[in-house]
Amino acid sequence: MPSFQATFTRFLVRSLLKPYLMSGPLTTQRSRFASLAGPRRRYGEKIERVQIGDLRAEWVVPPNADPRRVLYYLHGGGFVACSPKTHRSLAARIAREAGMRALLVDYRLAPEHPFPSPVEDTVAGYRWLLANGTQPDEIVIAGDSAGGSLALATLLSVRDSGGPLPAAAVCLSPATDATLSGASFTARVADEAMLSVDFCRQAVSSYVGALDPCTPLASPLHADLRGLPPLLIHVGTHELLLDDSIRFADKASKAGVEVTLRVWDGMWHVFHGFDVPEARAAVDEIGVFMRAHLGVSGGATARKPD
């Protein structure tokens, strides 16, 4: 049963935040998403900007970070909005819990840069890490929503090219099916506190365009999933994209991938970014998973209240 804090926050998200973010033209939506990025560095992290070819990126470095290990985090935003700045706080929380640095790339956005441009950028960021001395078994790739899709597409692209894969991957409410054919896309309309059906359809149209929406790198659910590293997938019961996670986890498991699927009762799309007990527990669980697959013991140090 969801906590009181989560129930109340979900009400506020649905009644106030969702209408604010999901309405208006794309330019308005982008500026509204950007306005949610707070300037405060909540966990004492350092921000170091870096250039990867034409791609801008930033390091988020918590005080307890082991410089050898990297969380390669890909932000969500429906492929059309957001940036490292909007997701810096969430990446910092996860990185702090796992005791590692986080690299966030400012990948190109649709519709100006549709598929495969964002995938090309996220693959380039991963290859840059390898070229600059980070070992693949010291990397965990992660992402939320559209970023979860890009994390999976990056894994698939690297695997298909014969490159070394990271130690593990974490996907938070990943968008895995560009056909939007999951039963929850219609069954959970009344429950979804964050996303709207119109936003999802417009985002997919902007990203995929006239291409077949079953194209594997645009729609990882339709890919051959053999050979992927261990996966942790988090999703809420109250999500339009619930079935994107459930179906993907089932297919990956049948393909021989080690998958941990965690379905959070009463939670909404990427609830991890909110100050509720379930989000803190989820980040703790992500930290445990990441440390286990990196061969690291212990948890976060010098923690501040969430």
Quick one: the chain helix, strand, coil %, rounded to 5? 40, 15, 40
Q: Which two tokens stand for residue 242?
A: 């619930």
pLDDT tens digit sequence for 205-246: 999 999 999 999 999 999 999 999 999 999 999 999 999 999
Q: Is 16 left (phi over 0), alpha (psi -120 to 50) or beta?
A: alpha
Whether 145 is catalytic: yes
Known active-site residue 239: yes
Q: Which of 45, 83, 138, 145 is catalytic?
A: 145
Q: What is the pLDDT of residues 8-33, one digit of tens each?
A: 999 999 999 999 999 999 999 999 99
pLDDT of residue 296: 81
Q: Is 269 a known active-site residue? A: yes
Helix (H) or strand (E) holding 270: none
Positions in the chain short of pLDDT 70: 38-43, 297-306
The pTM of the full predicted model, rounded to 2 decimals, is 0.95
pLDDT of residue 305: 33
The topology under which CATH files domain 107-118+153-255 is: Rossmann fold (3.40.50)
**List 239, 245, 272, 278, catalytic entry:** 239
Spatial separation of the C-alpha atoms in residues 182 and 175, rounded to whole Å? 11
pLDDT at 2: 95
Query: What pLDDT score does 119 carry?
Result: 98
Q: One of 87, 238, 269, 272 is an active-site residue; which one?
A: 269
Question: Residues with Cβ < 8 Å from 182, sequence gap 6 or more?
Answer: 241, 242, 243, 244, 246, 247
Nearest to 244 by CA among 176, 193, 191: 176
